Amino acid sequence: MATEVFAPAKINLSLHVTGRRSDGYHLLDSLVAFADLGDHLQLDPGPEMAIELSGPFAEGVPQDQRNLVWKAAQGAGWSGAVHLNKQLPHGAGIGGGSSDAAALLNALAGDGFEIPADLPLSLGADLPVCMAATAARMQGIGEQITPVALPELPALLVNPGCPVATGAVFSALQSRENAPMPAAIPRFDDISDCAAWLGEQRNDLEGPARAAAPDIDRVLGDLAVSKGALLSRMSGSGATCFALYSTLKAAHMAAYEIGTEHPDWWIRAVTLR
């Protein structure tokens, strides 16, 4: 019997690069939240693996062993057909592929499959936090996950349509030894309080990503001046950027305004949790 699974977009509200291990892995300190928007998977057990694609961002997604969903299924000892409806742009800094693989692993765990403890992290730094799929602090190389209480955050996600290679952005970092977030993340009274605190944090990948994809500058500029924006920042390694607002209505209004000027951009009003 087929299983329907939702894979939410992952948003890095902050992303501090705090070091680099001798094996080349970067150390991170990131506050992550998840949107009520994402990809959809349908899992149909069978004797052979197959990935079928649909959705606005299906083009260019691998349908073989290169796909993280395929790797996750193999690592968990599952086979069958996966129908993947790609609603999220890829190479966008919002964890699309990682969230897809994490959603599959969560579904298999719910069906009684024993997921090897080292499997998620072996597939990528974002897999452990994407398996949590709720607001969390991600540290180390992605293996340290601490749940965080956040208010629901109305937000606008904007991607100008220029995929950014994560490896290239990390390679262009000028400093890999940066300060982490404060030791304790406070409990926030409301959205404005949360946005003010986040304004004191950073995304250390924003600089090299903006150099690689100058369109990010325009996105961040448009978000910063949109009516009611409390904070604007890039997510992950880009090129998707976000702004926070006091209400979802304000986010939708900003989506309309920016979308009118840039009809070719991917623009979505969401709630982050």
Q: What is the CATH number of the domain that holds 194?
A: 3.30.70.890
Do 164 and 79 sit in the same domain of this protein? no
d(CA 114, CA 102): 14
Do 19 and 127 sit in the same domain of this protein? yes
* Alpha helices, H only, 33-162: 68-76, 96-110, 119-123, 127-132
Question: Directed axis angle between helix 96-110 and helix 68-76, to 10°?
Answer: 20
d(CA 136, CA 181): 13
CA distances, 138 to each of 56, 89, 96, 194, 257 (Å): 30, 23, 17, 18, 33
pLDDT at 1: 79
pLDDT at 163: 86
Do 244 and 178 sit in the same domain of this protein? yes
Number of domains in the chain: 2
Do 69 and 204 sit in the same domain of this protein? no
Cis link prior to 243 (omega < 30° from 0)?
no
Q: Which domain holds residue 231?
A: 153-272
Boundary residue ending a domain (116, 147, 178): 147
Q: What is the mean pLDDT of each run of 10 residues along the chain (273 residues)?
A: 95 98 96 98 98 97 98 98 97 96 98 96 98 98 98 98 92 95 97 98 97 96 98 97 98 98 98 98
pLDDT tens profile 186-231? 999 999 999 999 999 999 999 999 999 999 999 999 999 999 999 9
Q: Can you tell me whether residue 164 is helix, strand or coil?
A: coil
Do 97 and 176 sit in the same domain of this protein? no
**Marked catalytic residue, from 10, 71, 86, 222:** 10
Do 125 and 183 sit in the same domain of this protein? no
- State the CATH number of the domain containing residue 9: 3.30.230.10
Do 123 and 220 sit in the same domain of this protein? no
Do 18 and 94 sit in the same domain of this protein? yes
Do 159 and 205 sit in the same domain of this protein? yes
pLDDT at 201: 98
> Is residue 86 annotated as a catalytic residue, yes or no?
no
Boundary residue ending a domain (130, 147, 164): 147
> Is residue 126 annotated as a catalytic residue, yes or no?
yes
d(CA 132, CA 27): 19
Residues paired with residue 231 on neighbouring β-strands, in sequence order: 244
* Alpha helices, H only, the chain: 68-76, 96-110, 119-123, 127-132, 166-171, 191-198, 206-212, 215-224, 248-261
Taking the C-alpha atoms of 34, 89, 84 and 106 in order, what is their torsion angle to the nearest 10 degrees?
-20
Q: How many CA atoms lie within 13 A of 134 on its CB side?
A: 7
Do 95 and 226 sit in the same domain of this protein? no
Boundary residue ending a domain (147, 171, 193): 147
Do 164 and 222 sit in the same domain of this protein? yes
What residue type is 143 in one-letter code?
Answer: E
**Marked catalytic residue, from 100, 126, 215, 222:** 126
Give the DSSP H/E element, type plus range, for residue 85.
strand 80-85
Do 137 and 227 sit in the same domain of this protein? no
